[in-house]
Amino acid sequence: MDEPSFIATAPASVEPLLAMELSGLGAAEIKPVRGGIRFQGPLELAYRACLWSRTASRVVLVLAEIPAADADELYSGVYEQSWEEHLDPDGTLAVDFGGACAGIDHGHYGAQRVKDAIVDRFRAHCGRRPGVDRLRPDLRIQVQARDGHATIGLDLSGDSLHRRGYRAATVLAPLKETLAAALLLKAGWPVIAAAGGPLLDPLCGSGTLAIEAAWIAGDRAPGLSRERWGFSGWLGHVPVLWNRLLAEARQRREAGLARIPPILASDRDPKAVRAARINAGHAGVANRIDIEQRELIDVDPPKDSPGLLIANPPYGERLGEQDDLAELYRQIGERLKARFGGWRAAILTGNPELGKRMGLRAEKTHVFYNGPLECRLLRFRVEPAFFVDRDTADQRARTRILERAIENGAEGFINRLRKNLRHLGHWAEREGVRCYRLYDADLPEYAVAVDRYEQWLHVQEYAPPSSIDPAKARTRLEQVLTVLPALLELPPEQLFLKIRQRQRGASQYQKRAEQGRFHEVREGAARFWVNFTDYLDTGLFLDHRITRRRLAELAAGRRFLNLFGYTGTATVCAALGGAASTTTVDLSATYLDWAQRNLALNGIAGPRHALIRADCRQWLDQARECYDLIFLDPPTFSNSRRLVESFDAQRDHVDLLRQALRLLAPDGVLIFSTNRRAFRLDREALADLWIEDWSRRTLPPDFARQPKIHHCWRIARR
């Protein structure tokens, strides 16, 4: 009789390490399959894989491979299996279904069909059926359907094998135990540990890397602490065999404790240090790992032989964090070069460009996935031959880029950028402005707008007219995208490009992308979320910077209404300025959600701050409240299908203003703004009002070259 077949699952990047582990355990016929490694051997081998594999997520016993062209054939194939040989009729089961076949378009329905076939089989052969328990079943069944066939298996592990049982305390975004073990194996820790070399993790978080390192060095089976397994309720389970393997693993653990070399873990965060100590205690290695609160710049190697420094620095999702992370990587590199000569180092990074800040050339690079995020494990030998003067190298590279751009005719664009940087850069630094327009088609042949958001660049190309040679336009855009990062000394990946053209119909409301990445920026005391990829605009109108400041100055103690509220940036400023209450009205659920996030980011919450989804004109007709300060910034034009009728700022502004003024308190103020270039305020139709033109006084210096895009008036009753 052929030996049974098993599948050990693991992420794609971990599969080669898992194959080596299985080979070391005695597996035969090892071959990669989708999502893991297939192998053959006796049941003892599968038990050993459950107990000893450091990188596998699950171990599955393959029961059968059946035709499954459609849902009915899948049902028949599952029904034919001898389920009564595997599960007591009074037991419980759970089904996990992956893949698809005709008639099954989602996993829940596939699992339901498999479960129906199993319980129908039990009814027919036993007269009673097992129950369903999704959390702690006696038998967990795995079915994968693909290309007209299905693989049926029993999950011997039960819960995912990364759950070792020691993580009682955690921190933000901890590494999975299986990934931590894979990183250590790839970094060469078993060889270093066997030679008595130490390990140091200076950014230890909850201590996962240090604990897994201690278990590897101490020959501790990662599954030894687990109390429940997927085979516990399986009728084919052999307790005598399993107990023998457990006894062997306990003996190896006791013998291995004395072989654990020095392991040091530290973190600047006292919460992380506390979590690491708790977890090390649960893992049984509290007295084998030295865990301390320590700044990175104070980390020193032990005085023994060279070892391995391994770390998983934060990846940095927010705007502002990139500079901090660049400095962190620089500190890691400087500390390694100064104090860790002869050591090996391994850094897991979600941003390989940051690795270049270390001033060390990586000896090897490996791809791993931390959840869905693709990362790189950078492996270093800390020796002078691998040292790099990164600042000098980066400066030389930037100089070469600019020289080539000048040779290709971009000198005028470069000179204009340098001039703007001198003028606007000094102004922005003096005024504390972090987000501003750096360039706006100053030279007609380079028709782009360049906005700087702290350490990010948002570039919009104005669609060239048909008279411009498309090839020449592409060349100039390529020059823009090359010159900007070099001149501003920013990584190219921190530049975002959009093509801006006249929006018609529903296209003005559609997303440009689906990345969903937001970054935090600051404006005075306010903080905002911006998005550089998904929409035409970023969520923050830079030409309204002074207008928002004026609203904050006017808002103290007043009831504030923000019509066509967009992402709520004006509301945030009014609230921070001391508004008694705020009301924000917009038709877009997306923008209102964005506004809610902006309010929350600034600690603004409670019933005094209302967000209302409605067509502003319809809402104004029905509203009865009274407001002391109103901000009215309608779109230039809108014909969204959600509107009863289209809106044109020039045509409809008088009626809109009259509607809004109906809600204005007798001594209240309305600020009206529009970005329509040729807009003309109909003063004759509004002659009974006190109107003060604020366009120039609210026009920021970075928009002075294009004053027609910014119009603003202060309006009150006479």
Cα three-residue angle 604-607-610, rounded to 5 degrees = 80
| Residue with the two structure tokens 């409605």 | 614
SS3 45: helix
d(CA 189, CA 199): 8
Q: Is residue 406 part of a domain?
A: no
Query: Mean pLDDT throughout 410-437?
Result: 92
Judged against a pLDDT cut of 60, whether residue 506 lies above it is answered with no
Residue 393 confidence (pLDDT): 66
- Could you tell me where the beta strands, DSSP code E, fall in 463-566? 495-500, 519-523, 526-530, 559-563
Residue among 655, 652, 630, 623 at smallest CA distance from 639: 652
- Domain boundary among the residues 474, 501, 528 is at 501
**Distances 193 to 200, 217, 261 between C-alpha atoms, Å:** 12, 6, 6
**Is residue 664 within 8 Å of 717, Cβ to Cβ?**
yes
Q: Model confidence at 79, in pLDDT bands (50, 70, 90)?
A: very high
Query: Mean pLDDT throughout 454-463?
Result: 89
* Residue 628 and residue 693 in one domain: yes
d(CA 72, CA 534): 43
Phi-psi region of 2 (alpha: psi -120 to 50; beta: other; left: phi over 0): beta
- Domain boundary among the residues 341, 368, 388 is at 388
d(CA 523, CA 537): 17
* Residue 575 and residue 433 in one domain: no
Q: Pick 477 or 316 by higher pLDDT.
A: 477
* Residue 186 and residue 149 in one domain: no
Residue 512 confidence (pLDDT): 42
Judged against a pLDDT cut of 90, whether residue 26 lies above it is answered with yes
Encode 559-590: b = buried (16+ Cβ within 10 Å), e = exposed. bbbbbbbbbbbbbbbbbbbebebbbbbbbbee
Among 221-235, 381-395, 493-507, top mean pLDDT goes to: 221-235
Q: Burial level of 328, CB count in 10 A (0-12/13-18/19+)? A: buried
Judged against a pLDDT cut of 90, whether residue 484 lies above it is answered with yes
* Residue 151 and residue 189 in one domain: no
Residue 505 confidence (pLDDT): 41
Q: Is residue 162 part of a domain?
A: no
d(CA 492, CA 230): 49
Q: Is residue 458 part of a domain?
A: yes
Residue among 559, 613, 551 at smallest CA distance from 585: 613
Residue 503 confidence (pLDDT): 43
**Is residue 702 within 8 Å of 674, Cβ to Cβ?**
no
* Residue 86 and residue 189 in one domain: no
Judged against a pLDDT cut of 90, whether residue 666 lies above it is answered with yes
**Distances 316 to 113, 293, 319, 351, 434 between C-alpha atoms, Å:** 43, 22, 8, 9, 19
Residue 429 confidence (pLDDT): 87
d(CA 695, CA 294): 54
Order of strands, sheet of 199-201, starting from the edge strand that comes earlier in the sequence? 289-293, 263-267, 199-201, 308-311, 344-349, 373-381, 364-370
Q: Is residue 254 part of a domain?
A: no
Q: Is residue 168 part of a domain?
A: no
**Is residue 580 within 8 Å of 635, Cβ to Cβ?**
no
* Residue 437 and residue 550 in one domain: no
The domain that holds 440 is classified in CATH as 3.30.750.80
Counts for the chain of helices (H) and strands (E), in that order = 19, 30
Residue 387 confidence (pLDDT): 86
Cα three-residue angle 628-633-637, rounded to 5 degrees = 145
The domain that holds 651 is classified in CATH as 3.40.50.150
Judged against a pLDDT cut of 50, whether residue 158 lies above it is answered with yes
DSSP code, position 628: E
Least confident interval from 212-221, 368-377, 643-652: 643-652
Q: Which residues contact 668 (CB under 8 A, 6 or more apart)?
A: 558, 627, 628, 629, 630, 716
- Could you tell me where the beta strands, DSSP code E, fall in 312-432? 344-349, 364-370, 373-381
Judged against a pLDDT cut of 90, whether residue 425 lies above it is answered with no
Q: Pick 609 or 467 by higher pLDDT.
A: 609
d(CA 711, CA 673): 6
> What residues form DSSP beta bridges with 367?
376
Query: Mean pLDDT throughout 639-660?
Result: 82
Phi-psi region of 597 (alpha: psi -120 to 50; beta: other; left: phi over 0): alpha
Which residue range forms the structural domain that includes residue 57?
5-155
Phi-psi region of 207 (alpha: psi -120 to 50; beta: other; left: phi over 0): left
Residue among 276, 317, 51, 22 at smallest CA distance from 174: 276
* Residue 372 and residue 270 in one domain: yes
* Residue 497 and residue 524 in one domain: no
Q: Is residue 701 part of a domain?
A: yes
Judged against a pLDDT cut of 50, whether residue 483 lies above it is answered with yes
Give the model confidence (pLDDT) of 518-544 as tens digits. Answer: 889 999 999 999 999 888 889 999 999
**Distances 427 to 136, 391, 421, 431 between C-alpha atoms, Å:** 64, 27, 9, 6
**Is residue 559 within 8 Å of 627, Cβ to Cβ?**
yes
* Residue 465 and residue 329 in one domain: no
Query: Is the pTM above the cut of 0.85?
Result: no
* Residue 148 and residue 188 in one domain: no
Residue among 253, 185, 259 at smallest CA distance from 220: 253
Q: Model confidence at 63, in pLDDT bands (50, 70, 90)?
A: very high
Judged against a pLDDT cut of 70, whether residue 509 lies above it is answered with no
Judged against a pLDDT cut of 50, whether residue 295 lies above it is answered with yes
d(CA 285, CA 214): 7
The total of structural domains in the chain comes to: 4
Task: Give the mean pLDDT of the chain.
Answer: 90
Q: Is residue 228 part of a domain?
A: no
- Domain boundary among the residues 501, 532, 567 is at 501
> What residues form DSSP beta bridges with 266?
292
d(CA 542, CA 434): 10
| Residue with the two structure tokens 């604990």 | 211
Phi-psi region of 327 (alpha: psi -120 to 50; beta: other; left: phi over 0): alpha
Residue 641 confidence (pLDDT): 56
Residue 638 confidence (pLDDT): 77
Please give the distance of CA 513 from its chain centroid, rounded to a whole number.
Answer: 15
Q: Which one-letter amino acid corresponds to residue 66?
A: I
Percent of the chain with pLDDT over 90: 74
Report the sign of the C-alpha dihedral through residues 196, 201, 202, 208, in that order. negative
d(CA 525, CA 528): 10
Pairing label, strands 131-132, 139-146 = unpaired
* Residue 482 and residue 433 in one domain: yes
SS3 692: strand
Give the model confidence (pLDDT) of 137-152 as tens digits. Answer: 999 999 999 889 999 9
Q: Which one-letter amino acid corresponds to residue 124?
A: A
Judged against a pLDDT cut of 70, whether residue 652 lies above it is answered with yes
Percent of the chain with pLDDT over 70: 94
Residue 391 confidence (pLDDT): 63
The domain that holds 55 is classified in CATH as 3.30.2130.30
* Residue 9 and residue 124 in one domain: yes
DSSP code, position 207: S
> What residues form DSSP beta bridges with 267?
293
Q: Is residue 171 part of a domain?
A: no
